[in-house]
Amino acid sequence: MRSTIQQFNNLTKYRLPGQSLVEAVVAVAVVLLLVTGLIVATTSSLRFSSLSKYRTQAITYANEGMEFVRRLRDSSWTDFIAKDGTYCLSSTETWTKLEVDDDICIFDIDRFYARKVMFTYYPLQEGMRVTVIVSWVEGEWVNSTSLASYFTNWRGNE
C-alpha cells in the first residue's frame, strides 16, 4: 500500500503549474464539440421529419387528385379529352383552367397545399398523359411532389 502512495507522490511531483488548467480547457472543448454535434443532429432530424410529414401528406393529395381524374375519365371520355391543358384542382373538386402552365395555384388545400393537374392529349395513341403536382411552402422554400399517369379509353365508350 505504501508503495502505491509513493508512486502517486512521484507522479504529482513532476506536474507543471497550469497543467490542470490546460486539461480542463481541453475537456470543456471536447464536451462542447459533442454537445454541438448532438444539437446539429437533433435539428436535422426534426427538419427531415417535418419534410417527410409534409411530403407524405402531399402524396396523399396527389393520389386524391389522380382519383378525381379517373372519375372524370370514367364518367365521359369526350369531356375528359376536352380537358387538354393545365388546371388547378381544389379540395372541393373545382377545376380552374390556367392560361399559362407556369401560373401558380392558390394554396387552398388545408391552406397549405396547392394542386395543379396537367393534361396532355395524344390523338394518335388515343390517350391522355396526366401529371398531378402538389406544392407546399415550408419556410422560404417551395417544395413539390408529382404523380404521372397515362389514361386511355379502356371502356371504349364516349
How do residues 91-135 score in pLDDT, each as one tens digit? 888 898 998 767 788 888 888 899 999 999 998 888 999 999 999
Over residues 5-45, the pLDDT tens digits come to 665 555 555 566 666 777 888 888 888 888 888 888 777 77
d(CA 54, CA 6): 67
Q: How far is CA 88 from CA 11, 77, 150, in A?
A: 79, 20, 19
> Helix, strand, or coil here: 77?
helix
Q: How far is CA 20 from CA 14, 24, 29, 76, 89, in A?
A: 13, 6, 14, 84, 69
Report domain extents, the chain: 11-152
d(CA 62, CA 114): 10
More confident residue, 4 or 155: 155
In this prediction, residue 155 carries a pLDDT of: 72
> Helix, strand, or coil here: 39?
helix
Q: Identify the residue whose cell numbers are 503549474.
A: 17
> Helix, strand, or coil here: 50?
helix
64, burial (CB in 10 Å: exposed 0-12, middle 13-18, buried 19+)? middle
